């Protein structure tokens, strides 16, 4: 199936909406289930959703005689570890911060990516990365309400997650391109993330059947809709969308997170928080447009 450019952009906008709404489900799920357990279950569900597409790619590779290498398995495992660290840090942070803050602060991974490319590939970033990175830091300070004092506990965890998201973005595309099997990579990393999270949960958390029963809807929504369907739709949409447009549209998840936090949870941004949100979104748009021009 081939999509027109406007159809691909519309599909990516739906993905951003799904991911933004998932912050609400993640917040509600924390009322009854601990972060590691919640993360493990939702990513295992996501792996199951993508598994049929991954199996199709596996068979196609087998027919071409493209046997998976040990290095590929290590790469998928490494992606799963980065995914787990990012998701768990974000999930812990959501316990002590608002959905709006979590959505906006997670987006800090966007200006981090070109800086990591510089560190890994020795490819200097476009000059626009520096002012936009500073703008994102300033916007984060305004959102957290701490000025230039250390941010709160919840905000700090979410900010930490953005570093792991940036590393994940840097390496996931490379592995998927080398294997030419994006769904195989996705399902594998989701499974690694889910299993590692549950192993850590068994060591440090206590889950109850009653808690799982009450949290089943947020777990299913974030696992099936956000992880499984959201990622699959992203892969399809980005095949036919312009890279700069795709990145800007997907970063709208921050706006949707704030909107759903306002509509469903009654969250409000202060005037300084609103200024910070506008500043971060503006920086995201500028850094992505400048990077595409380069």
pLDDT tens column, 214-258: 999 999 999 999 999 988 888 778 777 765 566 667 777 888 888
pLDDT score, position 242: 65
Transcribe 205-269 into DSSP letters.
----HHHHHHTHHHHHIIIIIIIIIHHHHHHHHHTTS-HHHHHHHHTTHHHHHHHHHHHHH----
pLDDT, residue 145, reads: 63
How many other C-beta atoms lie within 10 A of the C-beta of residue 126? 15
pLDDT of residue 225: 94
Dihedral of alpha carbons 164, 170, 173, 178, sign: negative
Q: What pLDDT is stored for residue 98 in this prediction? A: 86
Q: How far apart are CA 129 and CA 112, in angstroms?
A: 9
The pTM of the full predicted model, rounded to 2 decimals, is: 0.84
Per the structure block, which two tokens stand in for 212? Answer: 């799982």
Helix H, strand E, coil C: the string for 136-163 is: HHHHHHHHHCCCCCCCCHHHHHHHHHHH
Q: Which residues of 242-267 are buried (b: 16+ CB within 10 A; e: fewer)?
A: eeebbbbbbbbbbbbbbbbbeeeeeb
Closest CA to 193 of 81, 93, 88: 81
Q: How far apart are CA 60 and CA 66, in angstroms?
A: 9
Positions of the chain with pLDDT under 70:
1, 67-68, 144-150, 177, 242-248, 288, 290-294
pLDDT at 288: 67
| pLDDT, tens only, 28-58 | 988 889 999 999 999 999 999 999 999 998 8
Distance, CA of 244 to CA of 78 (rounded, Å): 27
């Amino acid at each position: 199936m081939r999509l027109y450019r406007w159809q691909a952009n519309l599909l990516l906008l739906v993905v951003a909406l799904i991911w933004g709404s998932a912050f609400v489900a993640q917040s509600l799920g924390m009322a009854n289930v601990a972060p590691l357990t919640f993360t493990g279950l939702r990513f295992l569900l996501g792996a199951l959703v993508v598994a049929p597409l991954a199996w199709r790619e596996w068979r196609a590779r087998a027919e071409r005689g493209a046997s998976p290498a040990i290095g590929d398995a290590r790469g998928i495992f490494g992606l799963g570890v980065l995914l787990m660290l990012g998701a768990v840090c974000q999930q812990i942070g959501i316990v002590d911060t608002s959905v709006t803050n979590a959505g906006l602060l997670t987006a800090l991974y966007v200006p981090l990516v070109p800086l990591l490319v510089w560190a890994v590939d020795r490819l200097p970033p476009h000059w626009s990365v520096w002012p936009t990175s500073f703008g994102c830091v300033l916007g984060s300070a305004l959102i957290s309400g701490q000025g230039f004092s250390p941010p709160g506990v919840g905000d700090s965890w979410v900010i930490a997650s953005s570093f792991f998201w940036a590393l994940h973005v840097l390496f996931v595309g490379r592995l998927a391109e080398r294997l030419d099997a994006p769904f195989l990579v996705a399902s594998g990393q989701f499974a690694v993330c889910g299993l590692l999270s549950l192993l850590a949960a068994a060591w440090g958390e206590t889950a109850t059947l009653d808690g799982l029963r009450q949290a089943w809807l947020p777990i299913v929504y974030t696992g099936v809709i956000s992880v499984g369907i959201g990622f699959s739709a992203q892969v399809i949409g980005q095949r036919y969308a312009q890279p700069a447009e795709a990145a800007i549209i997907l970063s709208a998840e921050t706006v949707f997170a704030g909107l759903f936090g306002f509509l469903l949870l009654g969250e409000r941004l202060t005037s300084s928080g609103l200024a910070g949100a506008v500043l971060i979104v503006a920086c995201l748009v500028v850094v992505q447009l400048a990077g595409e021009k380069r």
